[in-house]
Every structure is written in C-alpha cells, then in structure tokens.
C-alpha cells in the first residue's frame, strides 16, 4: 500500500509542476526521466525538482496514508504504480521494501 502512496505523491507533483494538459504519458514514455526519479527516491542519484519535492513529502504522504489525496491523484497513482510494477519490477520491489 505504501508504494501506492509514493506514486500518489509523484502524480501530485507531476500535475503541479508539469501542468495537467499533457497528462502522464510523456513522463512515463521518457525512460531516462522515470529512472532518474526512481534513483532519487531510492537515494541512488541526484534529485531534480520533482525528486526533491517527492522526498520532502513522502513521510507525510506515507505517514498519513495519503489523507489529502484527491480521487484524481489516486487514479493517477494506480496507473503509475501499475506501470512501474510491470515495466520495472526490481525498482518497484525496492521502493516497496524501502517505503512499505
């Protein structure tokens, strides 16, 4: 469940930083960007604006079980979680172990 919350926060960050117009498809299609954010969250690489924000809100999001997530954020988080689970299972498992 906490991995779901991680990606809920990612969805919220992407919407707030990138705007809602393009959706998440361009982000998910950019393999380098996805890997960079995963590396940041797992403390394996440098963080950009998205990663830095993610790391700052993760304790609150996970600790409070995403109490402030909107239905839209929850739906987006499910999409991202499924994407990472199916395309990057090792990263998914590491994130689950670290934040779960």
Nearest one of 55, 53, 50, 49 to 95, comparing CA atoms? 55
Categorize the per-residue pLDDT at 9 as very low, low, confident or very high, splitting at 50, 70 and 90. Answer: low
Say if residue 57's pLDDT is above 70. no
Q: Residue 21: what pLDDT?
A: 43
Per-domain boundaries in the chain: 2-99
Mean pLDDT over the full length of the chain: 73
Q: Residue 42: what pLDDT?
A: 92
For residues 49-71, average pLDDT = 68
**Domain 2-99 fold:** Antennal chemosensory protein a6 (1.10.2080)
């Amino acid at each position: 469940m906490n991995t779901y919350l991680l990606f809920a926060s990612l969805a919220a960050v992407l919407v707030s930083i990138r705007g809602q117009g393009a959706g998440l498809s361009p982000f998910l299609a950019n393999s380098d960007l996805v890997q960079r954010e995963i590396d940041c969250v797992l403390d394996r690489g440098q963080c950009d604006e998205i990663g830095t924000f993610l790391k700052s809100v993760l304790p609150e999001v996970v600790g409070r079980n995403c109490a402030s997530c909107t239905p839209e954020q929850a739906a987006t988080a499910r999409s991202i979680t499924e994407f990472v689970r199916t395309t990057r299972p090792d990263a998914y498992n590491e994130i689950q172990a670290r934040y779960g």
